[in-house]
Chains A and B, each alone.
Chain A
Amino acid sequence: MSAHAKTRIVGAPVHRKEGVDKLMGRARYVDDMEREGMWHGATVRSTIPRGLICSIEFDRRIDWSEFAVVTAADIPGHNHIHLIFADQPCLADGKVNHCDEAIVLLAHPDKHKVREAVGAVKIEYEPLPPVFTMEESERQKVVVWGANNLLKSFSLEKGDVESAWASAARIVEGEYRTGAQEHLYIENNGMIAEYSAGTGVTVWGSLQCPFYVHKSLMAIFDLPEDKVRVIQTETGGAFGGKEDYPSTIGAHAALLAMKSGHPVKLVYDRMEDLAATTKRHPSRIRHRTAVDASGKLLAMDIDLATDGGAYSTLSSTVLSRATLHAPGPYVCPNVRVRSHAWATNTVPYGAFRGFGAPQAIFAIERHMDEIAAAIGMDPVDLRRRNFLHDGDTTATEQVMREPVILDHLLDRALAESNYSAKRREFARENKTNPVKRGMGIAAFYHGSGFTGSGERYLNSLAGIDVTAEDKVRVLVSSTEFGQGTNTILTQIAAEALGVEYEDVEMAPPDTGVVPNSGPTVASRTSMVVGGLIERACKQLVATLQQGAGLGESFAREAFFAACVRLRRAKGEVVSLCRYEAPPGIFWDDKKYRGEAYPAFAWSIQVAQVAVDTVTYSAEVEEFWAVQEVGRVLNPVLAGGQIEGGIAQGIGYALYEKVLLQNGHMANNQMTNYIMPTAEDVPPIHATFVEIPFVHGAYGAKGIGELPHDGPAPAILNAIRDAVGVSFTSIPLLPEDLFARLAVRAPVEETVTI
């Protein structure tokens, strides 16, 4: 099996493929690009959360003949953003369903003039009653989406939950809430578009999934495949925030290009990006759990609700992943998960690293500590008693066929963090110290790749070609946005072909050049797309050996010489592979039963937290993460994924609050939406235990999302350990700590003289 083979380049800390360009400041992000005769675009957005559009007036003090003006009436094809359902308009037509919904687009040669002109478009509305919370939405008194506000629901059932309550030694209930989280990629969303009747639409921009944008543009412009071209520019962070939104901004830029007859650049500033683009789904998750006297889980009844915002976008798939991660990495004979995504009149919530799993894992991992407290058991022992092992079945009755080594990961994490000794030491010190310290853990898995039958539907195609200049090119639509796609796929190709890392380059991420290897999401690039590249390379080597005189073992020069011979004979040297599901995969979409994921990555995280009972600030002092992600393809990049994900998870737990006022994000600036800085992120110790996965590229599984799943519960568990108070909601800000921990000042007694 290649997964266990000794490798030259896979597993080595080779330098980031596009690293030098980024370090020299010459990498070209969308806002660094100009096109000849380019105009600038801007967006007029709704100022109310829900209502009918009565009129659109243009202030006569402005000479509108200098501008291109686009409304829904200008859309040549379908007025919707193609994703899962077709409910989200590209431009609001007659009604709006959330604040900051795009209604009118403007373009002008001068970027300052176009921004000023936004305020000169006056829109009159007839307001309709809005719904802002999932509780209001599920009451259905006001229906704002479909027949009943329900975007999606799932029901997952294993065993018979109802049979377990009577025999339980203890039943523990809890409700857990998570807030919205902004991606805060440092590069805002942006696109440049060109249009001509002959060649159709071309867009360049900051995005994750070129073919999502491609498909959406085809519908909006009613154009065939070959008349739409999408090219990814260097992308300054995404984290899921550039999964679906680029389809919207790309269409907007393209409509302006069509109307103006000029290339148009549409780049948001930070305030617009924060107000108008997607965030992580807020959630409310209720657990009811039966345990026996020894702490063994007997039944888990989980009710999971998410706020999806005004349109369905990715809410159904986020809810799916939340549902499948809700029971945690534990064995339980009776499990029921009922989940619902509700519509509200806010900007649609979307994909964000973890994709529903961080919400679900926050709830179960906080709840495990509550169960432990209820039965007087150590939280570590409770987890250990219930961990999944090889051969066990999950809540979807997926059999764990690969090694599951949670006990080992836990042992390592406890040893490296010196967990037990620190807990004892802190318990002693906390009695007299106004700064209370505690240790908390989280145990979890993250499913790699698309859920259930998803990878089969994607039907990804990827491969390589070899140019006449002796360069191997990786042909994928999988994009680089910091996470390392370029480097990892190049390493895999170089390894599999027996050439050097420098011999391989990435083909341009351009839908006119590369095949559709699926979206760059769901921790699937290394494992799934990398696997296709490995296969395509081995297929090419076999072809060269069979038909171009390449020997059994060969040097790099012999490989390229054989490619020259093959090109002479066939005209090109190209090898493509299509996805094939690993054998024995079964998934029932209706019953939510079967192999939920082809592989799972596993992790134990430990947080050391200090709560200052004078200032009510909570600070993460140190953090440990031990994980099994299959084979580590590049230790520097893998470490960077873990550390970066943990930093975002710390922000999710303790810093980042999206404040909505009348459905509009009120703190839509970096001044008041606070992420962890260089002084806030603690020392992070990431340790990998490698068990190569037989169906992943050189043994790789998914890694990118895993680290974001654990910090919030680990931190709040540590706070419970430190101060003895359970917090069940994030973000947990100093004012929230104050509200529960502050000792009320004694009432002053009236003094009579």
Chain B
Amino acid sequence: MSATWPTIELAVNGETRRVQAAPMKRLLDVLREDLGLTGAKEGCGEGECGSCSVRMNGELVNSCLVPVLQAQGACVETVEGLAQDGELHPLQEAFLHCGGAQCGICTPGMLMAATQLLAQNPHPTIAEVREGLAGNLCRCTGFKRIFDSVLSAATQTTEPAHKAAHAR
């Protein structure tokens, strides 16, 4: 039946991708099934857990709640786009160093939420970090080492570098 589905074009991690998909297919499924980007996870399928978080046109979205037709022409950033040329992004480095990831299932979404937070607010307070990550559930860490990771990345990263990283 796929022959009858419209082609949707979107930029994923800076690369133009075309998919033929049912317009109401979830962006999460398009990323995972059509584009082979399995970093974003399904934890709840109803926008509560945030493990499917990706950035779309500079906004953080739960990709399980976005029909792919809404992503027509959009710039989508996923966890797979964070590291550049094999070099970990400062947030990934900080998560590794501070113990911000345990089982790792929430980590891709958490990293995207943290990326969004630092893009909007390069030097957040702990209260702002808590608020910025409140839509992403982690059952392993108790969050403390995730906060440490984000705050540590924020102090290590200069503002202009962040703006550049998210200028797409």
Contact = CB atoms under 8 A, between A and B. Distances in A.
Contacts of A639: 99, 144-145
B96 A643 contact: no
B107 A23 contact: yes
Nearest to B83: A24
B71 interface: no
Contact of A187 (B45, B103, B147): B103
Contact of A185 (B103, B144, B145): B103
A20 B105 contact: no
Contact of B140 (A644, A671, A679): A644
Nearest to B42: A31
Contacts of B35: none
Contacts of A669: 44, 46, 48
Contacts of B155: none
Interface in B42-80: 42-46, 48-49, 51, 78-80
A569 interface: no
B116 interface: no
B144 to A, nearest CB: 5
B105 A647 contact: no
Interface string B98-115: 110111111110010000
B105 A25 contact: no
Contacts of B95: 19, 23
A143 B155 CA distance: 64
B107 A22 contact: yes
Contacts of B79: 23-25
A121 interface: no
B46 A185 contact: no
Contacts of B92: 20, 23-24
B88 interface: yes
Given A22-B101, A23-B107, A186 B138 contact: yes
A300 B45 CA distance: 48
B104 A482 contact: yes
A618 B78 CA distance: 37
How many interface residues does chain B have, given as a range? 35 or more
Interface string A223-253: 0000000000011111100000000000000
A82 B138 CA distance: 32
Interface string A6-29: 000000010110111111111111
B141 A644 contact: yes
B38 interface: yes
Interface in B86-140: 88, 92, 95-99, 101-108, 111, 129-131, 133-134, 136-140
A27 B104 contact: yes
Nearest to B111: A23
Contacts of B140: 237, 482-483, 640, 644
Contacts of B108: 25
Contacts of B139: 183-186, 237, 239, 644, 648, 675
Contacts of B143: 643, 647, 678, 681
Contacts of B136: 678
A670 interface: yes
A481 interface: yes
A580 interface: no
A24 B32 CA distance: 15
A670 B46 contact: yes
Contact of A670 (B39, B48, B104): B48
A677 interface: yes
A15 B96 contact: yes
Nearest to A642: B142
Given A270-B43, A678-B134, A643 B104 contact: no
A566 interface: no
B37 to A, nearest CB: 8
A748 interface: no
A29 B105 contact: yes
Given A13-B99, A19-B101, A640-B140, 19 more contacts: A15-B96, A16-B101, A16-B102, A26-B39, A31-B41, A183-B139, A185-B139, A186-B137, A186-B138, A235-B103, A236-B103, A237-B139, A239-B139, A270-B46, A484-B102, A639-B99, A640-B99, A647-B143, A678-B130
Interface of A: 13, 15-16, 18-29, 31-32, 183-188, 234-239, 269-270, 481-484, 636-637, 639-640, 643-648, 669-671, 675, 677-679, 681, 683-684
The 10 closest A-B pairs by CB, nearest first: A25-B39, A236-B105, A482-B103, A22-B104, A647-B142, A643-B142, A482-B102, A25-B79, A670-B48, A32-B38
